[in-house]
């Protein structure tokens, strides 16, 4: 296998292919997270490696939603806003997510989409930075929407946007920098960007850091509180398994909350929502990030889905994630004919999220054939095969089977 890093020429001799199946079995037998696979609705004959796009369904969620629909909505109806706790769900579910991203209680609110929350966070950060700072730095490899939102936020606040490679951001910081928007994990390549180092550099320059956690939350430790991150956003339908289109979340550091000037003040974030006053007065704490009426069905499905994290250590998840991606690359090296794929995912553990991206000729056709063969990943144009490894339900035998089937298609 070709590789985008310098690790291939100096790597240890790969495990012989005939031993890799036995190695997978041994790793699965020793896996402390293996029992969590039974919590999800998965097919035995399909290897699901697209949890970085849509997480699998936790088995207990349909029963919970049946109760929400038939009892809470069907019988209690409007009473459920109070009696079933609907009104407080955005903050309550935020507190469930907080430990997974290293945040303090009361700093995360759930609602709206990632794009809407990026807008709220970035404009809020720029306003906190002050009028004398007129520049927003943006990760040039970011998911497109983040770039679109940054441009709109810049027009709205009279700033300009500079797009840079994440590694180049610290050197570009200066007295004109208001805020920096970076993806924690690159959605194409799986590269893990340096959150601690970049955040420290941003603060040293007097600016504020906004992080997009869509491809890291639930896959690896984030440490928002430990590293002093100012704002963060993320979706919940990937590694958090909240379901298609499940609401996103917004993190605002506790000491910023009283000064957080949201660009989308809605009645739900008012200090007295049911007072229906003409003048806006923002609420306290995480609730200030709310806008309109919460999407209760999706929100409660997410709350139920988060039960699979009870008793799970995010450090154990990270350890298994790295072992899975290492093992998959080892299997690809052993089985796929030389020259057919090139890894664009960093090999050093400190630089990798929880996915492997392989550059491949005719990648779209290859992925369609791979899905037909029972291995579900996805394709990013023009030539990238993406494989997401969700440690709660993906095992080493899955990684082995995926590499074998990929090799069969490319042979």
79-95: burial string, b at 16+ Cβ within 10 Å, e else: ebbeebebbebbbebbb
Predicted local confidence at residue 285, as pLDDT: 95
- Looking at the fold, whether 272 and 343 belong to one and the same domain comes out as no
The verdict on residue 301 lying in a domain is no
Listed residues 260, 293, 326: the one ending a domain: 293
Specify whether 48 is catalytic. Answer: no
Distance CA 48, CA 374 (A): 8
Both 129 and 269 in a single domain? Answer: yes
**Residue 1, pLDDT score:** 43
Of 48, 231, 237, 396, which is the active-site residue? 237
| Whole-angstrom distance, CA of residue 213 vs CA of residue 218 | 9
User: Is 378 part of a structural domain of the chain?
Assistant: yes
Q: Report pLDDT for 18.
A: 81
Q: Is residue 307 part of a domain?
A: no
Q: Please report, for the domain that includes residue 176, its CATH number.
A: 3.40.640.10
Q: Tell which of 293, 323, 346 closes a domain.
A: 293
In terms of domains, do 21 and 118 share one?
Answer: no
238 assigned to active site: yes
Q: Do 321 and 390 fall into the same domain?
A: yes
Catalytic residue check, 368: no
Going by C-alpha positions, the residue among 410, 394, 405, 282 that lies closest to residue 49 is 394
Residue 216 Cα distances to 100, 162, 247, angstroms: 10, 24, 16
Report cis status (omega within 30 of 0) of the bond before 4: no
- Are residue 279 and residue 328 in the same domain, yes or no? no
User: Does residue 79 belong to any structural domain of this protein?
Assistant: no
* H-only helix segments in 38-167: 61-67, 80-83, 89-97, 114-129, 144-157
Residues 122 and 228 in one domain: yes
Q: Note the pTM of the prediction, 2 decimals.
A: 0.95
For residues 254 and 285, give the distance between their C-alpha atoms in angstroms, rounded to a whole number: 7
- Which candidate in 146, 212, 230, 398 is catalytic? 212
Q: Is 335 a catalytic residue?
A: no
CATH number at residue 25: 3.90.1150.10
* Residues whose CB is less than 8 angstroms from the CB of residue 30 and which lie 6 or more positions away in sequence, other chains included: none
- Average pLDDT across each block of 10 residues of the chain; the chain has 411 residues. List them in order: 37 68 97 98 97 98 98 98 98 98 98 98 98 97 96 97 98 98 97 98 98 98 98 98 98 98 97 96 96 98 98 98 97 96 93 98 98 97 97 98 97 90
Report pLDDT for 349.
86
End-to-end CA distance of the chain: 13
Q: Specify the DSSP element, H or E, that contains 384.
A: strand 384-388
Residue 101 sits in the same domain as residue 246? yes
Q: Which of 324, 366, 22, 28 is nearest to 190 (CA)?
A: 324
Q: Is residue 64 part of a domain?
A: no
What local confidence, expressed as pLDDT, does residue 10 receive?
Answer: 36
Q: What tokens does 270 get?
A: 């008012």
For residue 356, the cross-strand partners are 387
Q: Which is the catalytic residue, given 143, 251, 327, 328?
A: 143
Q: Is 308 inside a domain boundary? A: no
Instruction: Find the Cα–Cα–Cα–Cα dihedral 254, 259, 265, 267, rounded to 10°.
Output: 60
Q: At which of 264, 293, 322 does a domain end?
A: 293
Is 212 in the active site? Answer: yes
Q: Is residue 71 part of a domain?
A: no
Task: Choose among 165, 169, 232, 164: nearest CA to 200.
Answer: 169
- 320 with 360, same domain? yes
- Same domain, residue pair 103 and 183: yes
Q: Are residues 25 and 121 part of one domain?
A: no
What domain range includes position 329?
2-59+313-410
Residues 16 and 155 in one domain: no
- DSSP letter assigned to residue 202: H
**343: in domain:** yes
Considering its fold, how many domains does the chain have in total? Answer: 2
Cα angle 348-352-358, degrees, rounded to a multiple of 5? 95
Looking at the fold, whether 125 and 266 belong to one and the same domain comes out as yes
Tell me how far apart the alpha carbons of residues 239 and 50 are, in angstroms, rounded to a whole number.
10
Catalytic residue among 96, 320, 340, 386: 386
Residue 13 has what pLDDT?
57
Query: Of 162, 238, 288, 401, which is the active-site residue?
Result: 238
Residue 15 is predicted with a pLDDT of 63
């Amino acid at each position: 296998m070709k590789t985008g890093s310098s690790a291939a020429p100096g790597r240890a001799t790969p495990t012989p292919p005939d031993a890799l199946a036995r190695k997978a079995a041994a790793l699965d037998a020793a896996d402390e997270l293996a029992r969590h696979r039974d919590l999800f609705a998965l097919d035995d004959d399909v290897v699901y490696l697209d949890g970085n796009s849509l997480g699998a369904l936790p088995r207990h969620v349909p029963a919970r939603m049946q109760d929400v629909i038939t009892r809470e909505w069907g019988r209690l109806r409007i009473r459920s806003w109070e009696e079933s706790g609907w009104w407080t769900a955005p903050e309550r579910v935020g507190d469930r997510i907080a430990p997974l991203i290293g945040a303090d209680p009361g700093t995360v609110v759930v609602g709206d989409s990632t794009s809407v929350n990026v807008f709220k966070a970035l404009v809020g950060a720029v306003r906190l930075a002050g009028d004398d700072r007129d520049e927003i730095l943006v990760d040039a490899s970011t998911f497109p929407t983040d770039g679109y939102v940054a441009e709109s936020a810049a027009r709205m606040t009279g700033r300009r946007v500079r797009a840079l490679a994440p590694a180049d951001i610290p050197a570009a910081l200066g007295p004109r920098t208001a805020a920096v928007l970076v993806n924690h994990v690159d959605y194409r390549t799986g590269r893990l960007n340096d959150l601690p180092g970049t955040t420290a550099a941003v603060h040293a320059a007097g600016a504020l850091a906004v992080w997009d956690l869509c491809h890291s939350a639930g896959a690896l430790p984030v440490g928002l509180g430990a590293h002093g991150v100012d704002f963060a956003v993320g979706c919940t339908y990937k590694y958090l398994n909240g379901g298609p289109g499940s609401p996103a979340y917004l993190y605002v550091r506790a000491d910023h909350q009283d000064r957080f000037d949201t660009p989308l003040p809605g009645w739900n974030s008012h200090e007295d929502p049911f007072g229906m006053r003409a003048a806006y007065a923002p609420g306290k704490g995480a609730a200030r990030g709310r806008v309109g009426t919460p999407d209760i069905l999706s929100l409660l499905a997410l709350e139920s889905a988060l039960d699979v994290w009870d008793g799970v250590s995010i450090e154990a998840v990270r350890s298994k994630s790295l072992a899975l991606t290492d093992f998959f690359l080892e299997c690809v090296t052993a089985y796929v004919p030389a020259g057919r794929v090139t890894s664009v995912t960093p090999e050093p553990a400190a630089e990798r999220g929880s996915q492997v991206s392989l550059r491949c000729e005719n990648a779209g056709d290859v992925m369609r054939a791979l899905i037909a063969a029972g291995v579900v990943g996805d394709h990013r144009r023009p030539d990238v095969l993406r494989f997401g490894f969700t440690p709660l339900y993906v095992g080493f035998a899955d990684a082995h089977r995926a590499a074998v089937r990929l090799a069969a298609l490319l042979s």
